Amino acid sequence: MTKRTSKAPTLTDVARAAGTSTAVVSYVMNNGPRPVAAETRERVLAAAADLDYRPNRIARALRSRTTGVVGLILADASNPYFGALARHIEQALDTHGKLTLTGNAGYSPDRQKQLADKFLAAQVDGLVIVSADGGADIATQAGRAGVPAVYVHNRPEDAQVPAVTADNEAAVRQAVAHLRGHGHTRVAFLAGPHDTGPVGRRHAAWQTALAGTDAPLLRCAYARGAAATLTQRLIGEDAMPAALVTATDEQAIGVLAGARACGLPVPDRLAVISLDGSPDTAYTAPALTATEQPLHAMAQQAVDLLLNGTSPQPPAPASLVLRQSCGCTPA
């Protein structure tokens, strides 16, 4: 057993313990550029584990002029949808040996810009931006600095960089058609405060699908509390629609809470379908039927665009996951 010291072990220490050269240790730690015999590789890895050796990312960055770090800017880290998307993006970046540095914009375009400036100052190898509505086109700004960037889920209207999105319009059509299959002719839509970004596209698709009907449009903030308050008010006014598509899971969960507080049974008196499909939707009471956004595919495509310069692909389709809130009884 190798004796450990208080000083952090170096590449030379690992090479000495493994009985090989520092170059061979470097090839093992960096997976190249030259191959290493399997027996030697195992010996190097065993020595590194015994010494608790960790490669010096700063030293590697100075040699390669890359940091191995990608900045990820989230519109709101507290939202389970964005949290799930971030997990898939981090996993996709990890397969390329990239470390993810995450910042939370809290739906603030100004905060989003500040995070981009800080990440660029830290010389990240790229930016993945799960964008808040509005604000500057920071991906183009990053490109001018020589740093590749990609938008996911949303992007500014004037952005020159492509965005990786889901097929929002098809998701709305699926939800509306399914509720109509349950006999509902007036399918309401719960939008956000403004018609921007993906929610604006979802709203427009709902308008097209319900053209010629008097189905109501509802609005509230993208928060459970706001949706619960709205639901309780509508129930108190006897104005709650019998079928509802919500723009986000956070709103849908709030609707369920408001309905339960007022004793309105779901789905008997109120059928609900949400349009995000984050993991939380499977564990509500009743479980939410949702169009599950293809987060894994979106993350993979975004990382391929960022690191490999692949061509943008058509929006990935969302899957309608049937649960109890719409009136179904899944097997």
Indicate if 216 and 275 belong to the same structural domain: yes
Please determine, for residue 132, whether its predicted confidence score (pLDDT) is greater than 70.
yes
Region of residue 322 (left: phi > 0; alpha: psi -120 to 50; beta: else):
beta
Structural domain count of the chain: 3
Question: pLDDT digits over 169-179, tens only?
Answer: 999 999 999 99
Indicate if 193 and 257 belong to the same structural domain: yes
Residue 209 belongs to some domain of the structure: yes
3-12, 134-143, 150-159: range with lowest mean pLDDT: 3-12
Indicate if 94 and 145 belong to the same structural domain: yes
Indicate if 73 and 136 belong to the same structural domain: yes
- Listed in sequence order, the residues at least 6 apart from 161 whose beta carbon sits closer than 8 Å to its beta carbon are 137, 139, 140, 143, 149, 150, 151, 155
**pLDDT at site 6:** 57
Residue 3 belongs to some domain of the structure: no
The single-letter DSSP state of residue 166 is: B
What pTM, to 2 d.p., does this model score? 0.78
Indicate if 154 and 37 belong to the same structural domain: no
Q: Which tokens go with 161? A: 């960089």
Indicate if 90 and 121 belong to the same structural domain: yes
Domain that holds residue 187: 168-293+316-321
Bridge partners (DSSP) of residue 150 are 128
Indicate if 101 and 113 belong to the same structural domain: yes
131 vs 273 pLDDT, higher one: 273
**What are the C-alpha distances in Å from 331 to residues 6, 225, 266, 322?**
59, 32, 18, 10
Please determine, for residue 2, whether its predicted confidence score (pLDDT) is greater than 80.
no
Residue 96 belongs to some domain of the structure: yes
Residue 1 belongs to some domain of the structure: no
Indicate if 225 and 262 belong to the same structural domain: yes
* HSE, side-chain direction, 13 A CA sphere, residue 161: 29
Reported as a pLDDT band with limits 50, 70 and 90, residue 4 is very low
Give the sign of the dihedral formed by CA 78, CA 79, CA 82, CA 83: positive
Cβ–Cβ contacts within 10 Å for residue 144, how many? Answer: 8
The number of angstroms, rounded, from the C-alpha of 193 to the middle of its chain's C-alpha atoms is: 21
Indicate if 177 and 258 belong to the same structural domain: yes
Indicate if 155 and 234 belong to the same structural domain: no
Q: Where are the alpha helices (DSSP H) in the chain?
A: 11-18, 22-29, 38-51, 57-64, 80-94, 109-121, 138-144, 168-181, 197-209, 224-236, 249-261, 295-308
Indicate if 267 and 154 belong to the same structural domain: no
Q: Which CATH number goes with the domain that contains 16?
A: 1.10.260.40
User: Phi and psi for 114 in degrees, rounded to 5?
Assistant: -60, -40
Q: Which CATH number goes with the domain that contains 256?
A: 3.40.50.2300
Please determine, for residue 64, whether its predicted confidence score (pLDDT) is greater than 70.
no
Please determine, for residue 229, whether its predicted confidence score (pLDDT) is greater than 60.
yes
User: Phi and psi for 278 in degrees, rounded to 5?
Assistant: -70, 165
